[in-house]
Amino acid sequence: MTVGLAGLSLSIIALVIAPLVAILYRAVIDVGQGSQGSLRFTGRYISEVLTKNIYWGALLNTILVAGGAAVVASILGVVFAWIFVRTNTIGREVFEWISQLPIFIPPFVGAVAWALLAAPRSGIMNRMLEGVGIPGILDVYSRVGMLFVIGVYLAPYVMMIVAAALRSMDPSLEEAAQISGLTKFQTARRITAPLLAPAILSGAALSFTIAIGLFGTPVVLGWSRQILMLTSRIWISSQEVPPGYGVMAVLATYLLLLSSLSTWLQRVILRGRSYTTVSGKGYRPRLVELGVWRWMTGVLAVLYIVSTILAPICVLVAAAMSKYTWSGQYSFENARNYLSSDDVWITLQNSVFISVVSTTVATIAGILISWIVVRTQIRGRGTLEYLILLPISVPGIAFGVGLMLVWLNVPLPVYGTTLIIIFAFVGRFTAYAVRSISASLVQVHPELEESARICGYGAIRTFSRITFPLILPSIVAAWLLLFSFFMTELSMVVILYTAENRTFSVLAFEAWNVGDFSRLASFSLLQMAVGVAFMAVLKIIFWKKFTPKSLKSVAPN
């Protein structure tokens, strides 16, 4: 136990604390040039950021756009998670699958697709509106456009977390509410929603944190009208010669504070309440019968899927088939040519390998840390949780630079290898696994584990036979979430990669970098296909775990 905790602490120091310190201490320390560079305290970077309007403007843009995106993502995520998981909406399983597709498309690609859909002059949606006599009013290059695009991209993440919580929830409380005379919608609003509060807030905080740290989307959509967020300013500083690490560090601190604020708010709201819904008492999950409304919710799901998911994907398909956007000539041959090189497939294999290894390591670490935080009384567990959650609010560029600075100075063969990318992924993203799994673990009443212990089970057997199966949906959701992140992550990889460990996102970025959107679209669709294949495999393997028999039997038809 002690050895395990020591190993965990050492890993957190190496993969989380060291990179953060390497970049953040530059907010107040000037590092001289050269190997013998001197160190001295300085307040000039803080002063520069605090006294220049451009940085206040960036902070305001970040709060507005990320906050708005979190609201959009939460509303869409919660509503559709409920529709897909707890109602008898027509076609809900297929809809749930389709609604998760965007997470396997790199955010910057999604932003480019949306630019083609809703650009003021050339956007397809605007042209269609004009075609039927309505002025094209959609403008993706505005704050509202940005927050909508980011919100739509993040909605599946909220949906996955809330859906996992819904699947783990005992619906007897809802049944009691309905027996007491509440309508189905009153039950959803007054019973289900409050019970889901930890998951909803976790999803909202997660989407806000991802949104403030996004780099590609704000640059693609906000640059033209100089709607710059903190990450855009960090990017500008990173491009300076020498890089403006001081300003980057102060701006990264802003993001850390914003993320900490959202976590703190989440705790304040949940404080003093119990959210345990999975107890030792037996329960019989039931779908909410919507009657004729099941068609209406189905139509709502179709509208959501067509307008926010299928439309950008169709744009990608059309772009992949076109010689350039928009050539007016479409052929599958074009997309096939882009995907026929060895380079594409070797890079894809590399990307899948790195993603699977990193995801598995981060998920195991997430289970361990969640269990320590939620189930033990070990001293310092709060600090452990805080430390592991810290990096998610640090933009990838800053974390990547921090990691590079650390491993350049460590006499181990890590820098320039695949290992450094795995370290970067695990260090920065384990927090997501912790958030997802701990939200589920907190719903499992300890009496189940206590009963197992009374029956003679040891700690490991109790966990593997009792706790693990109950939180499995969250674990699988966390694995899938991390896998989607790693398959599409760019901002850290672009700093740490070499030709030998290049990932698929870098390949896509190189296509974007030369303005070849058709190639970029082909790559992104392949990336999405791989993601969907993994999702399908997981679904097949864990189908029985996700869907209790009683839930199936009460479903009509």
Partner 1 sequence: MLWLLLRAFLRAIFIVPILVALSPTSAVAADPALIAAAKKEGSLVVYGCDPPQTPIYLDAFKKLYPEIKISSYIAGCWQLYNRHVTERTSNKQAADVFFSLEDVLTKMQDEGLLDPYHSPELKNFPADAAPAGKNYQRVKTLILGIGANKEYLKGMQPPQDWFDFANPKNEWRGQITFFDPRLSSAAFSLLAALYQNFGEQKTMAIYQGLVKSNAELTPTTPAGLSKMLSGEKPLMFYVVNNHYSGAVAKGAPLQFVVPKSGTIATPFSISVTKDAPHSAAARLFVDFMMSDVQEIITKANEYALRNGSAPPEGMPNLSTVKILPIDLAAALKQQTKLIEIWQQATGIR
Binding positions for partner 1, rule: CB under 8 A: 33-35, 37, 52-54, 112, 115-116, 119-123, 219-220, 223-226, 236, 239-243, 323-327, 329, 343, 404-405, 408-409, 415-416, 494-495, 497-500, 510, 512-517
Nearer Cβ to partner 1 (281/323): 323
What is 256-310 written as a DSSP string? HHHHHHHHHHHHHHHTT-----B-SS-----PBP-TTHHHHHHHHHHHHIIIIII
Q: How far is the CB of 332 from partner 1 (least distance, A)?
A: 16
Nearer Cβ to partner 1 (409/550): 409
Nearer Cβ to partner 1 (179/499): 499
CB under 8 Å to 500, separation ≥6 — which residues?
417, 418
Q: How far is the CB of 347 from partner 1 (least distance, A)?
A: 11
Q: How far is the CB of 229 from partner 1 (least distance, A)?
A: 13
Q: How many CB atoms lie within 10 A of CB 146?
A: 29
Nearer Cβ to partner 1 (22/196): 22
Could you write out the three-class secondary structure of 205-268?
HHHHHHHHHCCHHHHHHHHHHCCCCHHHHHHHHHHCCCCCHHHHHHHHHHHHHHHHHHHHHHHH
Q: How far is the CB of 458 from partner 1 (least distance, A)?
A: 47
Q: How far is the CB of 518 from partner 1 (least distance, A)?
A: 8
Nearer Cβ to partner 1 (100/334): 334
Q: Which residues, in sequence order, are bridge partners of residue 322? A: 330
Consecutive H or E run containing 41:
strand 39-41
Nearer Cβ to partner 1 (367/404): 404
Q: How far is the CB of 375 from partner 1 (least distance, A)?
A: 42
- Tokens standing for 430? 């384990």
Nearer Cβ to partner 1 (199/493): 493
Nearer Cβ to partner 1 (162/405): 405
Q: How far is the CB of 254 from partner 1 (least distance, A)?
A: 18
CA–CA gap between residue 336 and residue 323 (Å, rounded): 12
CA–CA gap between residue 514 and residue 533 (Å, rounded): 29
Helices (H), 13-135: 18-24, 44-51, 53-86, 92-99, 107-118, 124-131
User: Are 343 and 507 in contact, with CB atoms under 8 Å apart?
Assistant: yes
- Tokens standing for 169? 């929830």
Rg of the chain (C-alpha set): 24
Nearer Cβ to partner 1 (2/239): 239
Q: How far is the CB of 255 from partner 1 (least distance, A)?
A: 20
CB under 8 Å to 381, separation ≥6 — which residues?
372, 373
Q: How far is the CB of 408 from partner 1 (least distance, A)?
A: 4
Q: How many CB atoms lie within 10 A of CB 392?
A: 24
The phi and psi torsions of 416 (rounded to 5 degrees) equal 85, 5
Consecutive H or E run containing 29:
strand 29-31
